[in-house]
Amino acid sequence: MAKPDIHPKWYPDAKVYCNGQVIMTIGATKPELHVDVWSGNHPFYTGTQKMIDTEGRVERFLRKYGMSSTQTETQTEDDNQK
């Protein structure tokens, strides 16, 4: 048995809220949990994930390692002209 008075109170029906709506009910040590992101609205799980290009970093990376589509098209055109 668990020792008395050393464990936190267990809430078997704790509610999880996201944007003011109840998402699910779980067991937790708090009666309410407020989250910003969960699998129902996370871009990875919903399929709406976008690559954010800050200051051209992604394009610069692609150019540096030869993966840019514009560079590939230019190389193909040059090869065709030869």
Q: Which uninterrupted H or E stretch holds 56?
A: none
- For residue 51, the model assigns a pLDDT of 63
* Non-local CB neighbours of 66 within 8 Å, separated by 6+ positions: 72
Q: What are the percentages of helix, strand and coil residues in the chain, rounded to 5?
A: 30, 25, 45
* Non-local CB neighbours of 61 within 8 Å, separated by 6+ positions: 67
C-beta neighbour count of 18 within 10 angstroms:
16
Which pLDDT tens digits describe the chain residue by residue (82 residues)?
668 888 899 999 999 998 889 999 999 999 999 998 888 887 777 777 666 666 777 788 888 888 766 544 555 555 556 5
